[in-house]
Structure 1
């Protein structure tokens, strides 16, 4: 696994981290709020039971007999089976609420008699059900107890818990949406930096702009420093290329002068070879200097203008045939190619089409992903499959009667491949040859 694969997506890691923290915070908040609600509801129940116990104590008549001075069976203590009950015992004597009937509360533990406040106790209801029990023991041996059903605690908690869960769910969705927006907003400077680097690579700008967020500014400074270093190295390479050009052109010029002397080159063949070599050296050194100065990926040459100029020039050159060159190149479509190399490639292809066509040549261009494809078609006789493979070979001419040296298509193919593109030949819908030149966009 590569280092990039181990790192993964920064956006995904930030989102997963934020969502994990949000989920943890919501769970903790839900538990804390639920605990607070449980204590609050339990406190309300205890207060109601304690108030009933105080009422019972104040309603006891003095004397050995266990009697109440007034009826204290207020709702809900008067409803049988409600779970809200009270009981007063002294020895074998017992008083109970209407909801208790002839049954008794089984109090298994009670607070000390010297405690003047009701306290929670352990016990069970008449049917053995669990209750919330409060008990007060008086100094004379009287025990006053009041109970409430467990549903009085769990019912409100269940309803409040459902409302709380729904509220926390909505809050979680809002926080998640906020986290997504925050991550997108926070990573936007990196996306903008990527676009600026793409502009540098495409040749639309020389450097990354200096105004950047504080966190991205050191990265932008390092990128600009790297660009400056590459520019300095390319300038040094340009100097070496210039020195090489001088070292090659001088001996060629000397050789050309020597061959111009009488008797040195009777048939002129050596002079032609020297001239051809000089042109090739100049062309390739010029392209090397251009690549060393800017780099092929940072050159941007629009196609519409050169194609239109070339079409007009070749129409005049082949005026005796009445050749008509039509162009269909979208404005703004550009190739990452040196203008001189583009002129040479298109010149070879369009001139070849004008040479072999009957009357019409068509030039079109379109974007194909990250590349640009220029198609040159003619209405001439075309070529067979074997001839299509042979015509791109250097020095290969299919018809010796036609002027030329047989290097045009081979040179075009080599130049296109130098830029990472290529040349493909096939049959045109117009009946002749179609050459498809592919170059980086």
Structure 2
């Protein structure tokens, strides 16, 4: 299982939590506002019905006939607005009932005697009604029922809730859009940190910028401390390798000078052994120095200046031979490689070409597929069939590179080792000029 599948991203977590919280808040807000609207609409309707009850009650107490209080909309049949006054066996009705009765199906509790309380019922035509009922005490008790269509209670509420749901939906979308922008804005420092780390790895930066938000600043400080520690360890490793090189090469040089006298080594066997030891020591010291560059991708080295300096040096070195070195390298081509290692690899290849050429050496470089390919060609004898088989054996991955290809010395194995340590490689072939073609691949 991949890390992305096992552990959702911070953006997914934040947006998921935001969606859940926003939806929960909208639902709670919708319910709360719905309750408030229901109470408001019911309060308005109760007030209207209670006003009719007060008018009817006052008319009864003043001895005024209730029929005279039959004002609109209680005088129009059909819509459901109606009232009744029940006193003993007598029932006085509004004109809208036309002789029918209000049948209460849910009278509702009378909380305070003498005060109106809600009830539900049906009209003469079976239409649902919402009513207010009050019982008047006295020597001749009377019950007043004032009703309105149930739609007057729930119709405005449905309209208000529909508009409320639409408004809450728009608000929810705006909130989610704002939260998405906020999450993107909040995670922007992490994206910049990733870009800065990629720049450090690519070699365009030495350290991550310390100007960071307070929450990320401690992490950046630890990263920079780790980078500084790695740099110090690298310098110490190089110093140890240099000390070891000096400690080993000096005795070997002394032995070589001591064996230079014919009397001490008549057949030259010891001298050859010392020279072989010296080559092996140099080879493995170079490997140890290159292995200390784990993370060397931080280094960026321009290719053209290195080759230009190398050409100037080798032209003077092979001045008697009259070697002409042609360069076809873009000025902006850069490789992720230590400068001293690049000098050694290019020096081995170009020096080998100058040694075996008849007079012409050509060096070209191109960038493709995230890598830089440096091609060194000469017009020398090149590789015959036997030498080609030996070159393939030397370049095979996993073989010990303790011996060099005949005619090419130890420069090619060392170059291959260094190139592989940087994730590149080295191949040999036939050049268009007729001689050897060595193609070095390094990360761009």
TM-score (ref. length: structure 1)? 0.80
Report what 1:116 is aligned to: 114
Q: Secondary structure at the match of 1:121?
A: strand
Query: How many Å separate the matches in 2 of 1:431 and 1:197?
Result: 46
SS at match of 1:86: strand
Pick closer, same or farther for the CA change 1:112–1:230 going to 2, 3 Å.
closer
1:139-158 matches, cutoff 5 A:
139=137, 140-158=140-158
**Partner residue of 1:67?**
65
Instruction: Identify which range, 45-54 or 344-353, moves more after superposition.
Output: 344-353
Q: CA deviation at 1:253?
A: 2.0
Query: Deviation at 1:373?
Result: 2.4
Alignment of 1:24-39 (within 5 A): 24-39=24-39
Aligned counterparts of 1:161 and 1:261: Cα–Cα separation in 2: 111
Residue matched to 1:365: 366
Q: What is the count of residue pairs matched by the alignment?
A: 429
Does the CA-based 8 Å contact 1:61-1:67 persist in structure 2?
no
> What is aligned with 1:400?
none
Output aligned runs, 1:18-417, within 5 Å: 18-60=18-60, 67-68=65-66, 70-75=68-73, 77-107=74-104, 109=107, 115-139=113-137, 140-266=140-266, 271=271, 274-275=274-275, 277-278=277-278, 281-282=281-282, 284-285=284-285, 288-289=288-289, 292=292, 296-310=296-310, 325-329=326-330, 331=332, 333-349=333-349, 361=362, 363-369=364-370, 372-376=371-375, 390-394=390-394, 395-397=404-406, 404-405=407-408, 407-417=410-420
SS at match of 2:201: helix
Query: Is the Cα–Cα contact under 8 Å of residues 115 and 134 in structure 2 kept in the other structure?
Result: yes
Moved more, 142-151 or 422-431: 422-431
Per-residue deviation, 1:343: 2.7
The TM-score with structure 2 as length reference comes to 0.80
**Structure 2, gaps ≥5 residues long:** 395-403
Task: State the 1:225 CA deviation.
Answer: 3.6
CA contact (8 A) 2:287 2:418 kept: no
- Which position in structure 2 is the counterpart of 1:401? none
| Alignment CA distance shift 1:53-1:428 (3 Å) | farther
Change in 2 beyond 3 A, CA 1:105/1:18: same
Counterpart of 1:12 in structure 2 is 12
CA distance in 1, matches of 2:426, 2:113: 104
Contact 2:120 2:128 in 1 (8 A): no
Question: What is the CA deviation profile of residues 232-280 of structure 1, one whole-angstrom value per residue up to 9, with x for unaligned ones?
Answer: 5444434432442233123212211221123234465754663464355
> What is the CA–CA distance in structure 1 between the aligned matches of 2:70 and 2:88, rounded to whole Å?
21
Structure 1, residues 44-82: CA drift from partner, whole Å, max 9, x if none? 11111111222223334855xx9326252313x344321
Q: For the Cα contact (< 8 Å) 1:105–1:125, is it kept in 2?
A: yes
Hey, what's the Cα distance between the residues in 1 that align with 2:386 and 2:76? 107
Secondary structure, counterpart of 2:147 in structure 1: strand
